[in-house]
Amino acid sequence: STIRRRIRNEADNRRRPKRVCIRNDVEEHNCGTVSEQCGFCGAVYWKEEKNTAHKYTKCCHDRKVQLPAFPDAPELLKVLLTENSPDAKNYRQRIREYNSAFAFASMGAQIKPPRGTGPYCYRLHGQVYHRVSPLYASDQHKESYGQLYIFDSSEATEKRLSNNQNSLQHVFKKT
């Protein structure tokens, strides 16, 4: 039938390698250096980003928008995010594990890490889910997420550690 033929054609198209066009005649574009600053908030701009009034207004709209400064991060977090000690490297490599250990719900999504180097980030693709577990764990499952917040803090820390074997115990206890 027509429907079967269409489904078969779609399946064949998915199996075929995609054609890739590689062109070497593309000119490089360079925006220059970020050399301009907003006179009010200090945001940096390229020269060409001025509006028709020759002002940079995409940041604070001539001081109409004023955001409070971020508070300083706790000292332990600064150390873990900036230093090159073995503990700090472990923390950065497993930052999602540490974060998830203290979350109330689990997050489900298709995660696609971007290629290349740079600061830690991840890209989510498709639907994002938050799964909330019942208040008490069943006999077959370990306590996790929000279930750990009804325990004494030291007992909850031990349970979090048993759920995250690759995390460092002394770093976990500090956080």
Joined together, the tokens standing for residue 52 give: 């028709």
Give the mean model confidence (pLDDT) for residues 26-47.
86
Give the mean model confidence (pLDDT) for residues 47-66.
85
Question: Does the predicted TM-score (pTM) go above 0.95?
Answer: no
Residue 12 CA to its chain's centroid (Å): 35
90 pLDDT tier (thresholds 50, 70, 90): confident
Of the chain, the end-to-end C-alpha distance in Å amounts to 62
Q: What is the pLDDT of residue 1?
A: 62
Give the mean model confidence (pLDDT) for residues 50-68.
85
pLDDT tens-digit readout, 129-163: 777 777 777 777 777 777 777 777 877 777 777 77
pLDDT of 168 strictly over 80: no
Task: Render the burial of 124-148: b for 16+ CB within 10 Å, e for the rest.
Answer: eeeeeeeeebeeeeeeeeebbbebb
Pairing outcome for strands 106-112 and 123-131: antiparallel
Joined together, the tokens standing for residue 16 give: 């075929």
